[in-house]
Chain A
């Protein structure tokens, strides 16, 4: 089974800061990786798919990169409404799996 290691588990940054989250897969998953945002009490929402493609309706300040085993998710300019937990998800090999999540807070 593929393990997804997501770092950091939490971060605190100021409004306007550039924020980057990383996700490491235990084996090559090509680009079969998506990123989700989950706000408290809400269902997750798709932000990025196929490692770097922006989901429908997702703001352009969100971006993704990487391939193989190393992936990044970036918020170019952190906004107050970005306070949430972010998850990576691999859909290359069954069973699919999620990273542990990164909680993003405002400093």
Chain B
């Protein structure tokens, strides 16, 4: 079956612009996670959705970052007034049940964001 997909695969933008990154989770997965992977580092947690609600957004670095999942499936990560330091690969993962369970998180290929 289809895995987690993310679009676009690459995004180049200018400092100060607004960007949206999209994640399509595996069908039927209730939990969705966003991570950010900077060059040479492991992924870092940003936000976790259980269904439509953001159950944990403690990893978002500041209020320029926002994410939604209005119908409990597709999610969009939104970054306002982008800065060069936002350049990274943004990864999305989904799992069947989410926290409190031992199910596996499946990752998408990521969106590489470059802020010039």
Answer yes or no: are A and B bound together in one complex: no
A contact residues vs B (CB 8 Å cutoff): none
